[in-house]
Structure formats: C-alpha cells, structure tokens
Structure 1
Amino acid sequence: MPNWFKLTKAVLLAGGLMTSVAHAEETVTWWDFFGGGDGVRMKQLVADFNEAHKGKIKIDATTLEWGTPFYSKVQTSAAVGEAPDIMTYHASRIPLAVKQGILQEITADDWKTMGLGRSDYAPATWEAVSIDGKQYAVPLDTHPIVLYYNKDLLKKAGVLGDDGKPKGMDSRENFTATLKALKAAGVKFPLGSVTADGNFMFRTVYSFMGQQDGELMTDGEFLAGDSAKKLENSLAVLSEWTKEGLQSTYTDYPATVALFTSGEAAMMINGVWEVPTMTDLKNNGKLFEWGAVELPVIFDHPSTYADSHTFALPANKGEEMSPEKRAAVLEVMSWMSKNSLFWATAGHIPAYGPVTNSAEYKAMEPNHTYSSLTANIIFDPKTPLAGIAGPIFDVMSNFFVPTLNGEMEPAKAVEEIKAGLAEL
C-alpha cells in the first residue's frame, strides 16, 4: 500500500474543523478546471473528502474548461451572484481578479480557523496570493517546469554524473558542452523543447531572465533598465542551441513529449505535470531509466518560473455566505491542503510545508529531487495583464517562436516585445 494512501486514510479518520457544526449536511458548490491525470486525482480527493465528512459536508463538484473560458465564466457568474462557493484558481490570475472585485479576502481569522499560515508556505508562494498585504487564496501546489532526462542516453554519452544527474548543470558553457556531447554520441535532439508554442516557452525564457534578476515589470514599467537586455540574453542562448542542432525546432507540445519518450531527445524541458506520464510508462515497461531535476543554471543563480493552483472564494454579488457555509468552505481548503500528498502523485509540489517535509514525500522520486527549486521560484509580475492566458503571454509569445527557431534575431524580438507590451 503506497505511503500517500496510508497517510490519507489516517487523516480521513481524524476529525475536522466542522465537528462543532451539527444538524443538516452543508453542501459546498465547487468549480475546478482540472483535466487528465490532474482531474482523476482531484476527483479522488473530493470523493475522499465527502467520505470523511459524510453527514456534515458534501462537495458538489463541477469541472469546467481550463483557461480563458473558466475565468470568463467565473467573472460573469460572480457579477450576478451565481458563482460557486469555492473554486480552483491560478495564483498568476489573482491580481486581475482582485481588480475585478470577484474574490473574497481570506482573513486572518480564516487562516487561524483552518490551522494554516504564512510559515507553512515558501515565501514566494505566500506572496503570490497576496495583494497589498491581504491574502486572496489558499495555495495547493506549485507547478514549475523541470528538466527531464534519459539516464541511459546520458550515461552512454558520458554525461551522467555519479549522483545520477546530468553533468554541466552549473553554467551555460558546461550545459552546452553536455548537449554537444549528446549530439556527438548520435542523439538526434539533445534537448526537446516546445519551440512551436511561445506561450509555453514563456516559462523557460522567464526562468532564464530570473537567473539574471531580470524583471518583466518594475514599478509599472515593462522591461525597465537592463531587463530588456536580460530578456535578449535568454532568447539568445535558446536560439543558439537551435542553430547548433542541440534543441528541437518548431516542436509542439505532444511532439516534444513524444521525442523524449521515444528516445529521440535525451532531455526535455516540461512541466512537472508530465511526471505521471513517465511514471506510468516506466511501470509498464515502456520507458528507459529517467529522472527530473531543477533547470540548469545558465546565468548567475538558480531560478525557475512557476505558478500555483490555489483555492479561492468568489465574491458573489448580492449573496452573503452564511457562517455555516464559510465554516464548511474553510474545512474544505484546510483538508485539501493537509491531504495534498496524494496530489503530489500528479507531479506538482504541494504548497503546504508539512507535507513536503514529510518522510512520505521525501520518499517520492523524482518529486523530492526537484522540490528544492521552491526556494528559487519566481511568479508572474503583480499586474492584471499577467497570468495564464493573459495579454503579456500573448504579446511575448508572438516573437518567441520565430526567435527560438532562428528566424528572428533576439535583439529585434526584444524591441518588438517591448513596443507591444508598452501598448498594453
């Protein structure tokens, strides 16, 4: 029996925040945007919660379409008082939601009731759900990008370290040397990247900017000071890898995963959410020995872009939540946070510190190996223009694809990006 299952069952048997709430079962209306493996796992967590709180609280869950459709529906529903009691939300979208007035504050009393607080989260994760000193969501996870690697191919090329990790992770020169060694060993693509999708490549580019302490927005100005040059540096190294045949060209998301799992790409930059894919293939005897680690330090220090799935409470216009309903909703958020070890099987890094510090989580690989990156994560700038499916993504992604595939010079791309961002 897996450790996460034992831990979950142990918590299921424990009491919750609702022990003082008697009489009628409280129904909590829930919206999420989880599909695929995420959706399967969240449905299981909801079922486990309902079983543990039978006769007290019941989550009535609905899954909606990810991205712009989800957020548009939340906005229109909250405006007429028909939004759910609780919903999943990306931390990167919180500044816009606060501006729109569609989120309730999670108050100090709420945090106390839930038994959660600032000390339970990485500083960057806590800050990501905070606006002007107020918290507007409860973080469930961080989901960064990582470097996946084929241990068999790296070992054959002589670039697998004694620690079982890729060599050359400490500098641009050394990592490029690792890529060249793989190319010389006959690997078709040393690195697989989603170079046909600028929205996805934003994650890598922004990570490399963060390694130079570059910022997309400073005091309301886009790419202020030398941040434009740092963006250019980030694009230049990725463009260089493409020109030298070290990185896949014009590759969409499914093709990137296919290149890696087929062994045509020795390494791959992708989200932690692909961990279940690799785990399942390996368990079924259809994959090589593999691992996943924090991105290489190409510039000055470690830095990785991440977002967080969070739980948030809509501000339903004209509808006031009863004390009983709020107590039930707080119990949902508290229980989900404290039982997020199972959520980690989707590859995500649980935001709740006691879970990631547990012996059960430390036994999970490669999850525990890359969880150290939470000390180096950066989130989107605090602006309503940022976030998943936001305008900043759209403007920048238009120029990432031609640049990363060798059809536009990095300096020209930055010039166009800066002009486009200024128009926002």
Structure 2
Amino acid sequence: MTIHNAIKAAVVAAVGFGTAAQAQETVVWWDFLGGGDGARMKQLIDRFNQEHQGEITIDATTLEWGMPFYTRVQTAAAVGEAADVIMYHASRIPLAVEQGILQPLTAEDWQAMGLGQDDYAPATWDAVTVEDQQYAVPFDTHPIVLYFNKDILEAAGVLDENGLPMGMDSREGFTETLRALKEHGVRFPLGSVTADGNFMFRTIYSLMGQQDGELMTDGEFLAGDNGEKLENALSVLAEWTDEGLQSTYTDYPATVALFTSGEAAMMINGVWEVPTMTDLSAQGQLFEWGAVELPVIFDHPSTYADSHAFAIPANRGREMAPEKRAAVLEVISWMANNSLFWATAGHIPAYESVTASAEYQAMEPNATYSSLTQNMIFDPRSPLAGISGPIFDVMSTYFVPTLNGEMEPAEAVEMIRDELNAL
C-alpha cells in the first residue's frame, strides 16, 4: 500500500466513510528559513500542495532563526500547541531529547517513508541519533565552504589549470596564495566573519578536525592534547589577521558585501550563500565565482557541518491521530525525494539517491564541494552543543578578540577550557 493510500485508508477507518474533501489533512509546519533558501523552500511547499490537492495541505510558518525558534518550539510543545512537523538543526537534537520535546521515529515510520539508515552518510545519520534512536529525518547537510573570485585569482596568478585556487593542500601553500593576492593589491585576500565568534566556531572546529581534535572526550572538554589543537587552529587565523590577509571585526553582512563587491578575493561562508551568488550572477551583477571545500591547513580534510532535519514535536496532552501522522510522513518522504531542487539553495541533500543522480552531479558549484560529505564533522552530541547553545556562547566570547589580535591563542584556550568544564 502506498503512503497516499495509507492516509486515505486511515481516514476512512476513522470516520467510516469519506470523500476527497473529508480525507484532506492539514499539516502545520514551522521552519526558520529566510533569504534564498527560504524562498526555495516556499517553492517546494507550493509544489507539494499542488501535487497533493484534496489530500494534504502544508500550512507553513517561518519563525525567527536561532534561540527564538527553539524557545518557541519548547514552550509550545509543553502545552500541546507546537506544529505537526518542524525543521530542526541536528546539532540541537540531544538537548531537545533531554527536554522531551521530540517524538522518536519508529521502524514503521521509516518503512512508511521508504527511507532508512543506508540512505544517509554515517555522520548525518549519527547526528539525528540519540542512544540508538532516531529523532529526525536529515534533509541536508550545510557545511562551510571557500568561495572565490575567479577573475581576481586568475589576474593574481593563483588560479590553477582546473580553475581552482592554488595552495589548497597545505598551510604554507594557502598562506602563499593569500600573500600573492595581497601583493596584487586585493584589500582582503580572505573575508571571514571575525566579529561573530558563533560563526567562526565553524571554521575553527573544522581546523581542529583536520588535526583529529575533539572538543569533548568522555564528557570532558579539551582533554589531553585537544587544547593544543584548538590553539593551533586559532594561531593560523590570528596570523592571517596580523599579516592583513583576513578581514578584521567583520560581521556577517559585511563579509558577504566584501566578497560580492570584489574587495575580498575569497570568503569562508556557508553553502546557504550560494543562492546569493547565483541570483547576482543571473542579474549580471557578479564576477566569475566558484566554491570549494576548505583548504587542508593541517593533516587531512575536515569540515564542520550541521543538518536541517525534519522532526515531529512531542505535543504534551495531544496525541497525533494515525491519519495525521501518515500525512506528516508523506510530507517528509516527498521532501526527501524532491530535494534536488533544495540543492539550488546551496545545501547538500542528505538523501544519497539524490546526490548520486546525474542531475546533481552536473550541478555547480555543488558537485565540486559535495565531496566534503566524506570529511564532515558535526558538533559533539551533547545537550550543551548546537546552534545558539552554551558551547557556542562560551567559545565565541574568546574567539573574537583572539582572531582580531587582542588576545593570545594560548590564553584563550585556557579560558575556554575552564569555562566549558564549569558547565
């Protein structure tokens, strides 16, 4: 029986008779998507509603990103008033499970969706798993990448025969590329969000991962030589700032503006900025550009990533009817199977049948950086981790002064270790 028929059968069984109008289910949906990916999600929702007319309608609301969203979900679920399905960052799932605000997904749920563990990269599947139980369906992975201005790099002689930046395989090589751009007269060879420690966590954690560093080991923060690995990561970035190779005290909008205006030749940012570049390019307002996996500064490739995932709130005192759950599972399954369009938002679809398709492999720059899914690392699985979580807050306090030349990396590491372990 298809999931569409399962929905109809559930409704008929519940009421004893039915028409198309009576069988229609409304699925209340909450997300936090703005900008280019928000616009593309709205298009996906419209397509779903058109294809399921008379059966299922998604009633979608976009809430404010970050803590406002997660606080709203927590308080609403506590009184049984959260949505039927929500978008959730995988990094926040351990805390959500501790708070009791997400329903676990059963084997029957996965079977109904036609999805399972083999459809996802191991790191992505693990990110939604707590104590061998899944609490969400991964929709994408959204790592950070290196954006680059092909015109400037070519003029400076640091674009290789494949149209990619030179020096991507070592700290020395990439630093020489930055220096060559500086000598060429580029104001900022690299644009980084150095005024926002929460954002810079992504870059710094990636550089720790390139050294096989761990933020948390058996419940202890920066145990063993992991403090040294964090110091190494901070030192590289601080040195680039000191040499004038990286933008200083730059907030998120300013970083994007530096890159799109040509004042920064390269930029480290999330794949979610791909729509910005794509749309500007289509309007004839942008140079030739590309995006690629981060340079290997230390031992091997490693990139921080998170995942947008679909979860079902545990609404206290409000049990979800079988036909409603069937409709929710159809929404999630349809989104996974149609996530090729989501890749136009820059994200890497989590469903590997999509990323293995010829259509996806022909997409640029996505296909160029999608190899990083073999090298990605997620936040530690802890209620203290995740977007806008305590770990982010503590570390960001010390990242900003360190990256901008006002604190020594070794001092920052000691302060971070002490405060994190005090949590």
Matched to 1:252, the amino acid is: D
Listed as ranges, the matches of 1:17-416 within 5 Å are 17-22=3-8, 23=18, 24-416=23-415
Preserved contact between residue 37 and residue 275 of structure 2 (Cα < 8 Å) = no
Report the TM-score when normalising by structure 2: 0.95
Q: CA deviation at 1:19?
A: 2.5
**How far, CA to CA, are the matches of 1:315 and 1:384 in structure 2?**
18
**How far, CA to CA, are the matches of 2:55 and 2:36 in structure 1?**
28
Q: CA deviation at 1:21?
A: 3.0
Q: CA deviation at 1:35?
A: 1.2
Matched to 1:94, the amino acid is: I
Q: CA deviation at 1:337?
A: 0.6
Please, which moves more after superposition, 390-399 or 38-47? 38-47
Preserved contact between residue 6 and residue 326 of structure 2 (Cα < 8 Å) = no
Which runs of no fewer than 5 residues in structure 1 stay unpaired?
A: 1-14
Q: Counterpart of 1:187 in 2: which secondary structure?
A: coil
**How far, CA to CA, are the matches of 1:16 and 1:146 in structure 2?**
39
Matched to 2:101, the amino acid is: I
Q: 1:16–1:238: structure 2 CA closer, same or farther, 3 Å change rule?
A: farther
Give deviations 1:330-389, integer Å, cap 9, x for gaps: 101000011011111111111110111111111110011101101111000011011011
- Report the counterpart of residue 6 of structure 1 in structure 2: none
Report the TM-score when normalising by structure 1: 0.95
Matched to 2:322, the amino acid is: P
Q: CA deviation at 1:283?
A: 1.4
Q: CA deviation at 1:119?
A: 1.0
Q: Counterpart of 1:106 in 2: which secondary structure?
A: coil
**How far, CA to CA, are the matches of 1:103 and 1:186 in structure 2?**
52
Preserved contact between residue 228 and residue 414 of structure 1 (Cα < 8 Å) = yes
Preserved contact between residue 146 and residue 272 of structure 1 (Cα < 8 Å) = yes
**How far, CA to CA, are the matches of 2:2 and 2:387 in structure 1?**
33
Count residues in correspondence.
410
**How far, CA to CA, are the matches of 2:224 and 2:256 in structure 1?**
37
Q: Counterpart of 1:21 in 2: which secondary structure?
A: helix
Matched to 1:30, the amino acid is: W
Preserved contact between residue 16 and residue 331 of structure 1 (Cα < 8 Å) = no
**How far, CA to CA, are the matches of 1:399 and 1:389 in structure 2?**
16
**How far, CA to CA, are the matches of 2:402 and 2:244 in structure 1?**
15
Which runs of no fewer than 5 residues in structure 2 stay unpaired?
A: 9-17
Matched to 1:285, the amino acid is: G
Preserved contact between residue 85 and residue 329 of structure 1 (Cα < 8 Å) = yes
**How far, CA to CA, are the matches of 2:148 and 2:102 in structure 1?**
40
Q: CA deviation at 1:16?
A: 6.0
Preserved contact between residue 217 and residue 223 of structure 1 (Cα < 8 Å) = yes
- Report the counterpart of residue 422 of structure 1 in structure 2: 421
Q: 1:422–1:123: structure 2 CA closer, same or farther, 3 Å change rule?
A: same
Q: Counterpart of 1:145 in 2: which secondary structure?
A: strand
Give deviations 1:117-156, integer Å, cap 9, x for gaps: 1111111000000001110000111111000001111111
Q: CA deviation at 1:186?
A: 1.2
